[in-house]
Amino acid sequence: MPRRSLPLQGRMRWMLLGLFLLLVLLLFAYLLECTPPADVSLVLPGLGGESHGKEYYQALLQEQEERYLSRSASLKRQIAQLKQELQEMSEKLKVLQDRKEGPGVQGLVETKDQEPGDLLEFLHSQIDKAEVNTGARLPSEYALVPFESFTSSKVYQLEMGLTRHPEEKPVRKDRRDELVEVIEAALDVINNPDEEDGQEDDVPIQRQTYTESHFTEGLYRTERDKGTLYELFFAKEDSDNFRHVTLFRPFGPLMKVRSTSVETTGVIINIIVPLAGRTEAFSQFLHNFREVCIEHDRRVHLTVVYFGQEGLQEVKSYLEKMSREASFSNYTLIPVDEEFSRGRGLDIGAHTWKKGDVLMFFCDVDIYFTLDYLNTCRLHTAPNSQERCWILERFWLWNDMSVPLGLPQYR
């Protein structure tokens, strides 16, 4: 048995060796078949790269450049064709718009999603529904859609109430792009006025050019079933003349509603402050009043309604000192021998004014305001009405009689 097993073991070894060699050959053949050919561009100079000289690579670069030039020319032709089509559509829409548009409404951009006639009818119907020109009766204050105020870099929103800071920062990219588009559209309206805008009378010799730096503030609100209304204000430096542009986006093209000039030079603000005691707080109030109203504005009148006798002489001395140092006499001190009531004080201060139309600012001794806020009061109010009062959180304060302080209104 041992002798017969030796030849068998030898055969098995030879068979395993042959099988191993066969596998090696198959692997070698596979590598030869599957290995990609060597890149001629990687051949080292002097070993095999002499077959392609400098002319060969210049030809390759020339071919690539021609391919790019051809692609660029094709894209330019397509752009020119699209511009021509856009111009034709704009002319058609303008012709239809001249026939059908109402007074003071003009489209700024066009769309191809609808026929031009149907589009204009839809846009005009949305403007009529959105209280752009006239207001609508609401069942209660809860049905009111508030406006949001914005500048070039910030948005102030009131929908979150007073529990959180209303300033949104940073502004979301989608909202920033939307507001930038609106500002650019408003600038286009101002710098390229129509005949109905009436700017030729304002600047008979040279038309003023406005830029984004002249944008002071804007307002917007979105009604879910109508669209978004924008109101933007622009002013030159050290100028009391503002340009007011109203735009509307009825879930479609941005449209111009009106562009007007707002003059605020002759608008006087009567700041009415009810007070009882709190002389230190009143001193701080006068410090801010002097910096903002006297040094930079002077188109204001201060009415202080003082309740009681304690601290009255001190308040009177503060006012007289301010009058001497700043040469300012537009103030009225009304002593009232009654128990303090903020609502009563505001009413007394309002009825004391006898010099014609004035913008009344119901204020409080703790309220801090700026020069920009005074301009905001002048821009968003109209005689004989409390038209619009956009109050930010830093000016908002409610008293015990539910009288909103800081609300400017004409009388």
pLDDT tens track for 347-391 = 999 999 988 888 999 999 998 888 888 888 888 887 766 544 433
* Cα–Cα distance measured from residue 387 to residue 244, given in angstroms and rounded to the nearest whole number: 15
Nearest to 340 by CA among 363, 317, 365, 306: 306
Q: How high does pLDDT run on average in the chain?
A: 76
Which amino acid would we find at residue 374?
A: L
Q: Is residue 281 within 8 Å of residue 363, measured between CB atoms?
A: no
Residues for the chain: how many in total? 411
Which phi and psi angles does 253 have, rounded to 5°? -65, 150
Q: Is residue 208 within 8 Å of residue 192, measured between CB atoms?
A: no
For residue 30, the Cα-to-chain-centroid distance in whole angstroms is: 66
Nearest to 227 by CA among 122, 104, 118: 122
- Model confidence at 64: pLDDT above 70: yes
**pLDDT band for position 397 (50/70/90)?**
very low
Cβ neighbours for 151, distance < 8 A, ≥ 6 positions apart: 215, 216, 217, 218
Average pLDDT over every residue of 330-340: 93
The pTM of the full predicted model, rounded to 2 decimals, is 0.59
Which amino acid would we find at residue 406?
A: G
For residue 111, the Cα-to-chain-centroid distance in whole angstroms is: 23
* Cα–Cα distance measured from residue 354 to residue 87, given in angstroms and rounded to the nearest whole number: 59
154 or 44, greater pLDDT: 154
Average pLDDT over every residue of 222-229: 83
- Model confidence at 271: pLDDT above 90: yes
The b-or-e profile of 287-316 (16+ CB within 10 A means b, else e) is eebeebbbeeeebbbbbbbbbeeebbeebe
Which phi and psi angles does 215 have, rounded to 5°? -75, 125
Average pLDDT over every residue of 125-145: 72
State the DSSP H helix or E strand holding residue 35, giving kind and residue range, or none if neither: none
* Cα–Cα distance measured from residue 298 to residue 282, given in angstroms and rounded to the nearest whole number: 19
Sign of the CA dihedral running 354, 356, 358, 362: positive
Report pLDDT for 116.
55
Angle at 127 between CA 125 and CA 131, to 5 degrees: 120
Q: Is residue 253 within 8 Å of residue 109, measured between CB atoms?
A: yes
302 or 136, greater pLDDT: 302
* Cα–Cα distance measured from residue 377 to residue 371, given in angstroms and rounded to the nearest whole number: 10
Peptide bond into 170 cis (omega under 30): yes
